[in-house]
Structure 1
Amino acid sequence: MTYLQLAYLHLATVVPAFFIGTFLLVNRKGTPSHRLLGKFYMVLMLVTAVITLFMPAMVGPSLLGHFGFIHLFSVLVLYEVPVAYISARNGNLKRHRGNMIGVYVGGLLVAGAFAFTPGRLLHTWLIA
Structure 2
Amino acid sequence: MAFTLHLYASLLALGLGAILLLSPKGTMPHRILGSTWVLAMAFSALSSFWFGGGVLPLIGHFGPIHLLSLWVLVALAVAVVAILKGRVEQHRGWMVGAYLGLVGAFVGSLAPGRWIAVQLGLW
Measured against the shorter chain, the TM-score band is over 0.9
Cα displacement (A) at 1:69: 1.0
CA distance in 2, matches of 1:9, 1:84: 23
- Aligned-residue offset at 1:65: 3.0
Q: Which residue of 1 aligns with 2:109?
A: 115
Aligned residue pair count: 122
Task: With the length of structure 1 as denominator, give the TM-score of the two structures.
Answer: 0.91
When the two chains are superposed, the root-mean-square deviation of aligned CA atoms in Å is: 1.0
- For 2:56, the equivalent position in structure 1 comes to 61
Structure 1 position 8, deviation (Å) = 2.1
- Aligned residue among 88, 96, 103 for 1:101: 96
Deviation beyond 3 Å, 4+ runs, structure 1:
none
Identify unmatched segments of 5+ residues in structure 1: none
The Cα offsets for residues 35-61 of structure 1, whole Å up to 9 and x where unpaired, read as 011011001101110000111112x22
In percent, how many aligned pairs have the same letter?
35
Give the TM-score normalised by structure 2.
0.94
